Structure formats: C-alpha cells, structure tokens
C-alpha cells in the first residue's frame, strides 16, 4: 500500500467506526427525531470514509478526488455533531474534523 496514504487511511477507518458508533448511540437517545439529521450524516460519513479508505488501499487513480469529497462530508458531519451536547456526538465531531484534515491533505487541497 502507498505509504503516503497511511495517515489518511487510518483517519478514514477511525472516522467510519466513530460515525457508526455515534449513529447507534443517537438511536438510543430519548428524542430520536431530534437526532435524525445527525444520524443521516453519521451514516453518510461512515460510508464516505469506507469508500475513501478502500480507494486508497487499492491505490485508485480517483483516490484524491474521493478524499476531497470525503473531507467535505466529514466537515458537514462534524458541524452537525457539534450542535449536540451528547459525549458521543462531541467525540464524533473531533474524529470527523481530524479525518477532514487528513483527507484534505491527501487530496492536496490543504
């Protein structure tokens, strides 16, 4: 695997796991309806991160473009999670922002 991808690949895998955890935790909240946007973005972000990680692992010619899109989705997810006081949302926001930074670096847009 391309060593240049290592940090971004790890960040994407960590973010996918954190977003899946956050979505699951949001589903356990008393007012699930209030968490609908957060859950949807968590799921989108987890899938985008998994897609980006897979693209990097196979050294896809589209990896940089996929990472650029992933960065945007991670940023959106972080912004949504930051609006909620739950610990799982706050932790997800931190991980998403880190992944967005790594993906931007990978995409050459930072």
- Give the CATH number of the domain where residue 45 resides: 1.20.1270.360
> Which residue do the tokens 């699930």 mark?
32
What is the pLDDT, as a whole number, of residue 75? 98
Give residue 52's pLDDT: 97
Distance CA 32, CA 21 (A): 15
**Residue 62: what are its φ and ψ, rounded to 5°?**
-100, 5
CA-nearest of 110, 82, 83 to 96 is: 82
Ranges of H-type helices in 6-108: 6-26, 36-57, 63-81, 87-107
Residues present in the chain in total: 110
Task: Give the per-residue pLDDT at 2.
Answer: 64
CA–CA dist 72, 101 (Å, integer): 10
Question: What is the tens place of the pLDDT at every residue in 70-95?
Answer: 999 999 999 999 999 999 999 999 99
Domain that holds residue 67: 3-107
Q: What is the pLDDT of residue 70?
A: 98
pLDDT of res. 22: 98
d(CA 23, CA 60): 29
Residues of the chain predicted below pLDDT 50: none
- Number of structural domains (the chain) is 1
Cα 76 versus chain centre, distance: 9
């Amino acid at each position: 695997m391309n060593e240049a991808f290592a940090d971004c690949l790890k960040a994407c895998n960590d973010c996918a796991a954190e977003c899946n955890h956050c979505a699951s935790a949001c589903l356990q909240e008393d007012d699930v309806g209030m968490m609908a946007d957060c859950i949807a973005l968590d799921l989108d972000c987890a899938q985008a991160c998994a897609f980006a990680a897979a693209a990097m692992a196979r050294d896809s010619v589209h990896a940089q473009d996929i990472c650029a899109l992933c960065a945007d989705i991670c940023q959106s997810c972080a912004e949504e999670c930051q609006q909620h006081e739950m610990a799982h949302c706050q932790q997800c926001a931190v991980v998403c922002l880190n992944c967005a930074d790594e993906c931007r670096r990978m995409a050459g847009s930072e």
